[in-house]
Each structure stands twice: as structure tokens, then as C-alpha cells.
Amino acid sequence: MAPTPPPDRRPIIISGPSGVGKGTLYQKLFDAHPDTFALSVSHTTRKRRPHEVEGKDYFFISPAEFPALVSQGAFVEYALFNGHYYGTSKKAIETQRAKGLVVVLDIEMQGVQQMKESGSIDARYVFIKPPSFHALEARLRNRATEEEVDIRERLTQARVEVEYAETQNDVYDLIIINDDLEKAYKELHDFVYSPI
């Protein structure tokens, strides 16, 4: 089947609290439209885990290289998490775009703020919101990938992110409540494929 690219080929930023279903939603989009989208690959200074592939999961760089790239303006956004830097490079986005792919970026709130403030990227912004914090907590627990302390931290951060999305009216082009997955997916799909 030939790829069916959306009319608007700008990168799509997907943001929202951990566990809200961002990955689930964009993976459905990728599965429905093969060879159309590409998830942006970030740079990081953290060590590669055994199963991770350079250039696919991350571009692994040294702690000394990171600030050098920052000062060259190489990143559309970057952040420090747990003592390691993570960033999205302009070049990584351009490489995918040059292949005709529409780039999807899974970015947390600080990154969205940086991109909006710097205007470093012309993109479409989508926020995925949980139906309730109770439901979000249940998803994080069911996923069973985090420790209890991490779940609490993610829930605290979720409140900050939802507050930001709801009060900063000009940041997101679309807010989707991920309650019923099929309904949320349809909203994402309709937005991505909307005419220019």
C-alpha cells in the first residue's frame, strides 16, 4: 500500500502526562499509515542500555558534546532528567523530513515551552489529557513499569502539565481527552489528516 501523507506535512508534537496514552495513540497512527510518519530520535548523554540501538532509540553522545551542540543551536528543545541531558536536534528532524516522512515528536511540557518560546520549529501541537487523575493513576499502575515513588512523581507532574495545557490557550492546537481509545484516536487522526 502506498503511503498516504497528510496534507499538512509539518512535524506533530504530542505532549501529555506520563501514562496518558501518547505512545498508544501515535503507534495506532503509524500502524494505520505505514511509511508515512517517523518518531523523532533524541540525543542523550545517558549510557546506552543493552537492547538499545544507536540512531534508532537515541543518538548517544558524551556529556562534553552536549553543551557544545547546545551552543551551536543544534536543538529545538533539550532538558536535564535524572542527571542526563536529552534533546531533539534540528538535524534529526530534517533528516526524516527529507525522506518525505512527517515527524512526530513525543515531548514533555518543558520542551514544548522551549519550542514555543524560541519559535525554533513550525509544528502542530497536540495535548493528550487523561479523563481524570484517578484513571491516569490506574493506567500507570496497570502498565506496571514504574516504582511506587515514580508513579507518585508522575501524578504530581501530570497535574502541572494539565494545568499548563488548560491555561495557556495559545500553546496547543488540539486537546484530546483519552477516555475511549478509539474515539481519542479518531480525533487525533482527523486532526492529522485535516485539510490545510
Ligand X SMILES: Nc1ncnc2c1ncn2[C@@H]1O[C@H](COP(=O)(O)OP(=O)(O)OP(=O)(O)O)[C@@H](O)[C@H]1O
Binding of residue 21 to ligand X (CB under 6 A): yes
Binding of residue 84 to ligand X (CB under 6 A): no
Q: What are the cell numbers at 34?
A: 505505514
Which of 19, 93, 124, 172 contacts ligand X by CB under 6 A?
A: 19
Residue with cell string 519559535: 119
Q: Residue 138 CB: number of other CB atoms within 10 A?
A: 13
Write out the binding residues for ligand X, residues 172-191 only, by CB under 6 A. 178, 181, 184
Binding of residue 20 to ligand X (CB under 6 A): yes
Q: What are the cell numbers at 138?
A: 490506574
According to DSSP, residue 10 is labeled S
Distance CA 14, CA 154 (A): 17
Binding of residue 22 to ligand X (CB under 6 A): yes
# of chain residues touching ligand X (CB under 6 A): 14
Kindly state the smallest distance separating residue 101's Cβ from ligand X, in Å. Answer: 20
Q: What are the cell numbers at 148?
A: 511506587
Strands (E), the chain: 12-15, 37-39, 42-44, 58-60, 75-81, 84-89, 102-106, 124-129, 174-177
- One symbol per residue from 100 to 139: x for binding ligand X (CB under 6 A), - otherwise; what is it? ---------------------------------------x
Which of 3, 4, 23, 132 contacts ligand X by CB under 6 A?
A: 23
Q: Which residues contact ligand X (rule: CB under 6 A)?
A: 16, 18-24, 139, 142-143, 178, 181, 184
